Structure 1
Amino acid sequence: MAPSFDTSTHTVCVMDASGHLGFSLVQRLLQRGYTVHASVQKYGEENLFTGISSDPDKLKVFRSDPFDYHSIIDALRGCSGLFYTFEPPFDQPNYDEYMADVEVRAAHNVLEACAQTETMDKVVFTSSATAVVWREDRKTMELDLDERHWSDVNFCRKFKLWHGVSKTMAEKSAWALAMDRGVNMVSINAGLMMAHDLSIKHPYLRGAAEMYEDGVFVTVDLAFLVDAHICVYEDVSSYGRYLCFNHIINTHEDAVQLARKLTPGASSSLPQRLVRGRFWSF
């Protein structure tokens, strides 16, 4: 029988802890008995965590700029694990042709800091399904897309799929550095996360009509995604990349339901236009 995983002996860092995924990870990790370093980017975000831990010694909040190497080192000190999810900086919130450089630099800094943290055992790196699904030959491939595939950055640039560009380049940069520095890393390539404030402006949705037609328009519930992160951290045999989703938008009814969620209060004809790709297409 495999030994049980003693969460009480593990100190882990969540970065950025102020986003939907990061905050939910902090909550679940505390519930499971971990000691958590919650790393946030902006002043004032520390207040998000007031009262969420019954044991104040189990939670420490750090302000860490992903472009400030030393602040990352401070947050990681003493940690055996890192849950890393990129949140765009407040002064550049939109995905555009420049975001890839920003996200790559952040990933590089974080992985380098992990390599210099002697106590670090495993990094769970949050990536996206958009780093998998976008390829010129996707309609003629003999095999189904899976975790072995990568999006074609040139294809993404051609059609201004900036989310795919950023996630592909950042994940590849993280993997290159992890392998070079000997960091034990696992990536989770998540579908569109169904947060309560999800809107049609989300950069993942660029090209959604094509994903729908190709049968690769996948979504994931927040709780499911949180559990997946913790599962791959606690499983000593986990490795490589994991596509993570619990629903596929592949029927007309699914598409209409999602369109209505994205455009509450819109006219009844809007979901039909969305499904046909008027707003989601290339």
Structure 2
Amino acid sequence: MVVGKTVCVTGASGFIASWLVKLLLERGYTVRGTIRNPEKAKYLLQLPGASDRLKLFSANLLEPGSFDEVVAACDGVFHVASPTSAEAITDPQAQFILPAVNGTLNVLASCAKVHTQRVVLTSSVGAINRTPKCTPEIVVDESFWSEEDYCQERKDWYALSKTLAEKAAWDFVKEKGLDMVVINPSGVLGPTLQASELGTNKYILGLLNGTMKVYPNLTFGVVGVKDVAMAHILAYESQHATGRYICSGPVLQSADVVSLLKKLYPMYDISAKVGDEAFHMVPPYNLSSQKLRDLGLHVQPIEDVIYETVASFKEWGLLD
């Protein structure tokens, strides 16, 4: 048990952040969570330990100083909040890039004012692997950076936003002397603590319930949400943690995921067909999480993650 430690989790009601809040409470932390929508975050108050050690605050990523009060009372800050998707992308700069970059800098500016002991930033493998350098014979590690032109050509605004936000964060903490560690998760699956917070799970649900008719031809790493949450905690608690940490299980292609779902759940009629976006597909490559394993994290097998994911769909009434 951690006694007396108080930490902030931004975007506390999100898919990854909610699991982070849950695990922090289980370890004895006092948590100050920032949220945008109090109604959507009510479920967090039902978590074990929440009645005594969780307090929620409204905060706006794009408002300078919005996090000052929250982080002032904290030993550490987990900055998880960031735009992840948009139904219709009409203005990538406004929908993805500005919220990610300016939101990150606003949180870090609040931390700099009170000299926060350690900041753990949630970035993404999208800030690492969007580059033609990712080939089967190469081990992709934390030294890789996604190429901005490559992201723009593919209209991968999420990856571009995470790349620009992380680069801006490293420049800022270097200038201000803040201690920051970064977690770079791949595609995150796993059980959800709230039916409305599906994250990447929505693609699995769409394949199983038949609403997804066409799936994109992609290559991506996958990892369980509980492992991603624990990676953040290990990065915060370890005195030796430094720099970036890839958090990923195997690298798969879309067709591999579809085949795995058909094998695990033959009772569902998975009829989705692959799209024609062949230019997006690259051969599977080696994505190294060795640095994170050295901190003590061993990720769940992807089959176990999918079992837990589907079980949570059924628990929430999202799947028969």
- TM-score by length of structure 2 reads 0.71
For the aligned residue pairs, the C-alpha RMSD in angstroms reads 3.1
Counterpart Cα distance in 1 of 2:62 and 2:250: 35
How does 1:125-204 map onto structure 2 within 5 Å?
A: 125-139=121-135, 143-196=138-191, 197=198, 198-200=201-203
User: Does 2:222 correspond to 1:209?
Assistant: no
SS in structure 2 opposite 1:228? helix
1:281 is displaced (CA, Å) by 5.1
User: Does 2:76 correspond to 1:68?
Assistant: no
RCO higher in 1 or 2 (8 Å CA, sep ≥ 6)?
Answer: 2
Counterpart Cα distance in 1 of 2:133 and 2:221: 19
Counterpart Cα distance in 2 of 1:55 and 1:43: 15
- TM-score by length of structure 1 reads 0.80
- How high is the sequence identity, in percent, across the aligned residues? 28
1:160 is displaced (CA, Å) by 0.8
| Contact 1:249/1:255 (8 A) holds in 2 | no
Counterpart Cα distance in 2 of 1:59 and 1:139: 44
User: Does 2:244 correspond to 1:237?
Assistant: no
1:107 is displaced (CA, Å) by 0.8
| Contact 1:88/1:94 (8 A) holds in 2 | no
| Contact 1:133/1:151 (8 A) holds in 2 | yes
Match of 2:222 in 1: 219
User: Does 2:25 correspond to 1:17?
Assistant: no
Pick closer, same or farther for the CA change 1:241–1:73 going to 2, 3 Å: same
SS in structure 2 opposite 1:61? strand
1:109 is displaced (CA, Å) by 0.5
| Contact 2:82/2:99 (8 A) holds in 1 | no
Consecutive unaligned residues of structure 2, counting only runs of 5 or more, are 192-197, 205-214, 281-320
Counterpart Cα distance in 2 of 1:63 and 1:260: 44
| Contact 1:20/1:195 (8 A) holds in 2 | no
Counterpart Cα distance in 2 of 1:111 and 1:267: 44
| Contact 2:151/2:159 (8 A) holds in 1 | yes
186-195 or 92-101, which deviates more? 92-101
Counterpart Cα distance in 2 of 1:251 and 1:55: 38
248-257 or 9-18, which deviates more? 248-257
Counterpart Cα distance in 1 of 2:269 and 2:276: 15
| Contact 1:39/1:64 (8 A) holds in 2 | yes
How does 1:97-116 map onto structure 2 within 5 Å?
A: 97-98=92-93, 99-116=96-113
How does 1:32-47 map onto structure 2 within 5 Å?
A: 32-47=27-42
